[in-house]
Structure 1
Amino acid sequence: MPPRKSKAKTGPKAKEPAKEVAGEEESSDGVASTGEDAKEQIPTDPKPTSTEEPPSKKRKNAAPTDNPQKAPRRSGRGAPASRPSQEQLLHYMLSPTAQELCRPADETADLAHRGPIRTYSSSILNPYEELLCAVILSRPISHRLGLRTIRTVLNEPYNFSSAKATRDAGSEKRHQALWDARTQHKDKTAEQIGSLAEVVMERFTSGDDEDGSRMQRVREECEGDVAKEREYMQKSVKGLGKTGLSIFFRRVQWLWDESYPFIDDRTVESLRKLGLPEDGEELRELVELRWGELDTKDLAGDDDSMRKRRALVTVLERAIGSDLEGKHEALLEAAAGS
């Protein structure tokens, strides 16, 4: 059972933020200036009377010939960054280097501290793990908390990598996993993943899939019809809605190829920011067209067809990951320089 909560000590009173100064505004280079400073300064002393004669009209209009004025130097600040070609962008997004721009900082720190742990952003997951992750990510919590919860339940000491492992862990261990994840809605989520494991074991497993990791019965019952699969899963799993199903089918399409190529509405926004095709067929065609030039050595898959599907899933995940982390411009800049 979760440890008892101790009363939090009362810390020093937080300082109140400084009040805004009336008339203060931010200049184009980010430096704050007051309204008074921004006004043109009008001198109060009268101008000294000059005793020199004004230059003649001829002298005034004479253009200098020996030392022509140079054009003012233009500052590079504010210049638009160079945009990568689509081939450059795809090549970079499929490389391991791009991964750091597509995951939260706490995940990077966790990997550095714990070593090669399994993560949502970079590990190969089976269909049950993908469904478990989709359920967690569709909860009303932040994306970072969702990813931290996933890292907790997929690794030691929990290893909820199949429906059987999740079910056999028992209620107490599932609740402890959510407490260790330091997430929100712990009890509700723990109950939901327990219910998910039961449903998968009862309704989604087939004879050659005893631990429920592949959920092959869903495909058999629905004969590969994606619309029927979505309806069947939504009716079976309590709390699994459109968002969770879209996350699941976006991720699992490299394994369940009937749904390929699929791009959900949320990922369309991220692709638009990067300048990549927002339509599934168009993005598939682009990957096919550039396949020979892409960095594909680290992609999972038994053959080229499977690796191409995995490539599309990877591009989608890194597009949405960089967007959620506010790093899509950094991704574009890095791709242009690669």
Structure 2
Amino acid sequence: MTVDTITTRLLAEHGRTYAEEAGITLHDKPSPLYRLLVMTVLCSIRISAGTAIEAARELSAAGYRTPRAMAASGWQDRVDALGRAHYVRYDESTATALGEGAQLLLDRWHGDLRRLGDEADGDPDALRELLREVPRIGPVGADIFCREVQAVWPWLRPFFDERACAAAEDLGLPHTPRGLGGLVPPEEHARLAAALVRVGLSKDALAELRAA
């Protein structure tokens, strides 16, 4: 199978971003960017992506779509929302992290993640370091946020982290950010990155693409 064919199949079969799965219509606006950050926090521990995505949906449905709403919510209310998504074991510590993170965003960036992006000043490494100041977000979480937010922050493109590049190498594709970025138009970078991560997490999907 040619590189073009593999790339086309990746996008067609696995190219749904995690933000889309969480019901987030991503725009360069405070609320959807914050909802993406919440999803990132939820995905940043050893729990299934499906459970984390469902928890993001529950928190959004409960009205916690801005840092101000999250900070004003009760700790038990956050725990309950996480529990409805079966985000158990980590529900209490995550409820605490979400409250602390919301307050940090309000205090430092006035609740607007675009200000955080401006502080990074076009430097992806600086952005990743700033994101790691948010409770619960480490290197993996920073990569998750950057992979997704490049859909609306063009200055980040092409952003393909180690997970995406490793899956690309397994498929015989270029496996550097620049090489992968050249396979699709810039506006498709986020979808390709998500597709590669999804395939990398699924032995069956990876084997199917390899065998085709």
Q: 1:230 aligns with which of 128, 146, 167?
A: 128
- 1:240-288 deviations in whole A, cap 9, x for unaligned? 221111111121122222322121112222222222211111111222x
**How big is the shift at 1:315?**
1.1
Q: 2:10 aligns with which of 64, 72, 93?
A: 93
CA pair 270-160 structure 1, distance change in 2 beyond 3 A:
farther
Tell whether the 8 Å contact from 2:159 to 2:189 is kept in structure 1 after alignment.
no
Alignment of 1:6-85 (within 5 A): 84-85=1-2
- 1:42 alignment counterpart: none
State which structure, 1 or 2, has the greater radius of gyration over its C-alpha atoms: 1
- 1:277 alignment counterpart: 174
AA aligned opposite 1:329: A
Instruction: Give 5+ residue unaligned stretches, structure 2.
Output: 27-31
CA pair 92-187 structure 1, distance change in 2 beyond 3 A:
same
- 1:249 alignment counterpart: 146
Q: Does 1:162 align with 2:66?
A: yes
**How big is the shift at 1:186?**
0.8
Q: Does 1:201 align with 2:106?
A: yes
CA pair 147-275 structure 1, distance change in 2 beyond 3 A:
farther
Partner Cα separation in structure 1 for residue 69 and residue 183 of structure 2: 40
Partner Cα separation in structure 1 for residue 123 and residue 192 of structure 2: 25
AA aligned opposite 1:309: P
Tell whether the 8 Å contact from 2:24 to 2:35 is kept in structure 1 after alignment.
no
- 1:16-54 deviations in whole A, cap 9, x for unaligned? xxxxxxxxxxxxxxxxxxxxxxxxxxxxxxxxxxxxxxx
AA aligned opposite 2:114: Q
Tell whether the 8 Å contact from 1:102 to 1:321 is kept in structure 2 after alignment.
no
- Comparing both structures, which one devotes a greater share of its residues to helix? 2
- 1:266 alignment counterpart: 163
Tell whether the 8 Å contact from 1:319 to 1:328 is kept in structure 2 after alignment.
no
**How big is the shift at 1:332?**
5.3
- 1:192-245 deviations in whole A, cap 9, x for unaligned? 11111111122223xxxxxx3x5111133333333333333323x233221111
- 1:140 alignment counterpart: 46
Q: 2:25 aligns with which of 124, 127, 132?
A: 124
CA pair 230-86 structure 1, distance change in 2 beyond 3 A:
same
- 1:110 alignment counterpart: none
Identical counterparts, % of pairs: 25
AA aligned opposite 1:178: L
Tell whether the 8 Å contact from 1:166 to 1:197 is kept in structure 2 after alignment.
yes
**SS of 2:58's equivalent?**
helix
How many aligned residue pairs are there? 203
Q: 1:219 aligns with which of 109, 117, 124?
A: 117
CA pair 231-142 structure 1, distance change in 2 beyond 3 A:
same
Instruction: Give 5+ residue unaligned stretches, structure 1.
Output: 1-83, 104-117, 206-211, 288-307
**SS of 2:183's equivalent?**
helix
Tell whether the 8 Å contact from 1:276 to 1:283 is kept in structure 2 after alignment.
yes
Q: Does 1:179 align with 2:57?
A: no
Partner Cα separation in structure 2 for residue 203 and residue 251 of structure 1: 23
AA aligned opposite 2:202: E
Partner Cα separation in structure 1 for residue 209 and residue 113 of structure 2: 35
**SS of 1:94's equivalent?**
helix
**How big is the shift at 1:331?**
4.4
